Structure 1
Amino acid sequence: MSKQIQDAYLVAATRTPVSKRNGMFRHVRPDDMLAHVLSAVVGQVPGLDAGEIGDVVVGCAMPEAEQGMNVARIGLLLAGLPDRVPGITINRFCASGLQAVADAANRIRLGEADVMIAAGTESMSAMPQIMGNKVSLNPAIFDKAENVAIAYGMGLTAERVAAKWQVSREDQDAFALQSNQRACAAIAAGRFRDEITPYTVHAHLPGEGGTVRVSERLCEHDEGPRPDASLEGLGKLRPVFAARGSVTAGNSSQMSDGAGAVLLMSEAALKRYNVTPVARFASFAVAGVPPEVMGIGPVEAIPRALAAAGVSLGDIGWTELNEAFAAQALAVMRQLDMDPAKVNPLGGAIALGHPLGATGAIRAATLVSAMRRDPALRFGLISMCIGTGMGAAGVFERV
């Protein structure tokens, strides 16, 4: 007997501030960041029976070392959720956090759960330890020319995109400057305040007489945006991935640490807890592209997600397009004829950072916050490219 697909609703979302790699969160564990946002998002729904959470789905792009051993389950237990709540860690590289939202929503849509949490966590400060464990590419990758791009670094793929879609260095730097300017303006205006749950970092330092002194620092704002960014400064940076290239540290996403979480409910749960949702999960799509131009992935994924939601790009009032690189973001926007004013209005990953598997959940918190502020904002879109040649996109409708 078949069941009717039901709607899944986003009712709460939050995130940590995003730290630069080896910045304010350099000694913060990713499972602690995860526990922090899980506890906070549950706390946004007064009276919620946490034991009713069907699953906690957590995205992580490098689920090893400090963020290994099913970090989802460890994080939820550290957050104090009941033992009966299960957790699963998933990996679709940079789309892991968005994939977590889609997977959690689909469990509700299929009638398998009434309450779900989707999240993401990533510490790129811990990446040397993680990558140092044992990363070994399959030698067969190098046996055929068409497979070699699997081993390309992301920066090299950005150079390929810049060349193929003719994105100039000047345009990349101008886009990067705009990302920083928008992010700094958003912070100054308090735009991120409602979506961020501040994190207190504790440091153990040597004190007098052999004692240990504990210091505290309350982290409330994203660390990456550069208020002093300028076209002149960006123009002086050397390419870092190709000798005669155009992709620099200044027009690429920042390596970062952070976590985000989203709480979803069925209509039955909304009524039971008397909760007013923010948005309805409308659709999700993922698509493959050649690995050597992985950054163009959203060009394939976005139209699929829009078609599944029954809307057009013109209906989308706010897009969170992950700025892995200015080259790929601009190529995607031009190929799809996207309105620049509606893409990353508060800045993107070039300024705000990109903690890999957490980014999708973090940007979901940004979109939810925007929908709360603006009653006229009906449809929102989250999209990103994915390493080894993929793109992902999700559509959300304000309710």
Structure 2
Amino acid sequence: MHRVKVISGHLSSYPAQGGNIKCNINHCCARAAVSGPEDVVVVHGRRTAIGKAKRGLFKDTTPDELLSAVMKAVMTDMGLSPDRLGDVCVGNVLQPGAGAVMARIAHFLSEFPETVPVYTVNRQCSSGLQALFNIAGAIKSGSIDLGLACGVESMSLQEMGNPGDLSPRLVDFEKARACVVPMGITSENVAERFGISREKQDAFAVSSHQKADRAQRSGRFEAEIVPVVTRVTDAEGTECTVTVLKDEGVRPSTTLEGLGKLRAAFRPDGSTTAGNSSQVSDGAAALLLGRRSAVEALGLPVLGVLRASAVVGVPPDMMGIGPAYAIPAALEQAGLSVADIDVFEINEAFASQAVYCVEKLGLPLDRVNPNGGAIALGHPLGCTGARMTVSLLHELRRRGRRGYGVVSMCIGTGMGAAAVFEYPGP
């Protein structure tokens, strides 16, 4: 077991520079929806602000409290009794058992009745998005009419890096070994193989902060963020009550010159730094989904329509390329092209992988993460897929016209996930 832990912490095998990657991609997806009463629609979505792990205002806040805040807010905003829900699915990565006990406790903290079921799912960084896929699937199959899809993570209170009990035989299988390559090394692998320079990565990071700063100053996040009243203890041990309203990771003063001074974080000669990587964070998000016919019968609004979803597999030692393969799969399913999409929300796990995906797919930069991404806002693992969906749909609504958006995630052990949404217009 010690051998496995050492491998998990230090394994750094990676493909040689150059050449084209070949991926055997198996699609795991629902068929694209056809407009009509059976559409899976998103009614509403809210999120907490994203706090800095270990030193932000959520550092002492348990994940059940974060989750409860968004669960209650979504239902209260819609004036809907929780007993209308057929199921609740929560994405989580770091809590023991993917947070199954935590989620049920949040359920009761939110004053949901015991008759409403809840479960959790862990598909690593896309767990919040997978929760949405699961609820959508249950609606599509006819099992439920309404459901709540959530994501939550406290990276302050749970540590990363423990893969659990693994067979020592993993060293005999190349792909199995690659599953425990540290995420930072996968970023370096992508940068090296595909020639993503340090300058490109730093420029992308600066842009993320600039976009998030503009969004924050203009009040774009106000409609999606739930105020959370919590308690925090300062360095002197003094506890005080605070209301958290604002994402904490945005640094308007970020410059290329400043980022250029940072040392590589994972290899001495590498290009991935703390400044061009996502921030470890705390946060939660929730979305109310339903069958269109049921939603309309209750007089609820339609914020978005789920038009397609896809999950694909890619090499685990270059997991960050997942969106470059998941997005085309979802677009094909929806009968759309890159040119049809108004907004792409792509997780910025690392600037290297985000830049690769943008370049590979030829995405217009002004349509990618228009209000900043995980480099500026933060990346609470189990929350991010749900958070990005909330942000996407609020942004499409803000624009005030019918349009399409894509949410896409890379997944740590070598996968990618994507969803296509339509905003039907005001």
- The interval holding the TM-score normalised by the smaller chain is over 0.9
Distance 1:203 1:62 in 2: 21
The Cα shift of 1:29 comes to: 0.3
Aligned counterpart for 1:312 among listed residues 333, 337, 359? 337
Query: Which one is further off, 373-382 or 111-120?
Result: 373-382
Alpha-carbon distance, 1:265 to partner: 1.6
Correspondence list, 1:230-309, <5 A:
230-309=255-334
Asked if the contact 1:13/1:260 (under 8 Å) is kept, the reply is yes
Distance 2:350 2:204 in 1: 10
Is this contact kept in 2: 1:141–1:151, CA < 8 A?
Answer: no
Tell me the TM-score normalized by structure 1: 0.93
Per the alignment, in what secondary structure is the counterpart of residue 302 of structure 2? coil
- 3-state secondary structure, aligned to 1:271: helix
- How much does 1:205 deviate? 8.1
Do the aligned residues in 2 keep the contact of 1:6 with 1:111 (CA within 8 Å)? no
Matching residue of 1:81 = 112
Alpha-carbon distance in structure 1 between the residues aligned to 2:178 and 2:235: 48
Residue in structure 2 matched with residue 174 of structure 1 by the alignment: 203
Aligned pair count reads 388
1:261-305 Cα shifts (integer Å, max 9, x gaps): 000121232222211211111111000011111000111111111
Is contact 2:50-2:377 (8 Å) kept? yes
1:178-257 residue pairs with structure 2 within 5 A?
178-203=207-232, 215-257=240-282
Structure 2: how far apart are the matches of 1:293 and 1:205? 39
Aligned residues of 1:141 and 1:150 also touching (Cα < 8 A): no
Q: CA deviation at 1:83?
A: 1.1
Work out whether 1:395 is the aligned partner of 2:395.
Answer: no
CA contact (8 A) 2:175 2:316 kept: no
The residue that corresponds to 2:165 in the other structure is: 136
Q: Secondary structure at the match of 2:112?
A: coil
Match of 1:56 in 2: 88
Q: Give the distance between the partners of 1:340 and 1:205, measured in 2 at CA.
A: 40
Per the alignment, do residues 114 and 232 of structure 1 end up closer, same or farther by CA in structure 2, a change over 3 Å counting? same
Deviates more, 1:371-380 or 1:298-307: 371-380
Contact 2:278 2:350 in 1 (8 A): yes
Quote the residue 1:118 is aligned against. Answer: 149
Aligned to 2:45: 13
Is structure 2 residue 61 aligned with structure 1 residue 28? yes
Q: Distance in 1 between matches of 2:352 and 2:226?
A: 32
CA-to-partner distance for each residue in 1:148-198, whole Å, 9 max, x for gaps?
Answer: 211101000000000111000001001100100110111000010000001
Alpha-carbon offset, residue 213 of structure 1: 7.4
Separation (CA, whole Å) in 2 of partners of 1:337 and 1:227: 27
Question: In the alignment, what sits opposite 2:15?
Answer: none
Instruction: Give the Cα–Cα distance (whole angstroms) in 2 for the partners of residues 352 and 146 of structure 1.
Output: 32
Contact 1:11 1:275 in 2 (8 A): yes
The 3 A distance-change label for structure 1 pair 131 and 147 is closer
Question: Using the alignment, how far apart are the partners of 1:301 and 1:338 within structure 2?
Answer: 14
Is the counterpart of residue 156 in structure 1 residue 185 in structure 2?
yes
Displacement after TM superposition at 1:215 (Å): 2.1
Distance, in Å, in 2 between the alignment partners of 1:30 and 1:138 is: 31
C-alpha separation in 2, matches of 1:186 and 1:205: 29
The question of 1:100 aligning with 2:131 is answered: yes
8 Å contact 2:58–2:232 — kept in the other structure? no
Q: What one-letter code is carried by the residue in structure 2 that aligns with 1:101?
A: L
Q: Distance in 1 between matches of 2:175 and 2:104?
A: 38
- Structure 2 residue matching 1:356: 3-state secondary structure: coil
Partner of 2:73: 40
Determine the C-alpha separation between the residues in 2 that align with 1:83 and 1:269.
22
Q: Residues 349 and 213 from structure 1, CA distance in 2 versus in 1: closer, same or farther, beyond 3 angstroms?
A: closer
> Residues 54 and 115 of structure 1 are in contact (CA less than 8 Å); yes or no, is this contact kept in structure 2?
yes
Do the aligned partners of residues 54 and 192 (structure 1) sit closer, same or farther apart at CA in structure 2, a change above 3 Å counting? same
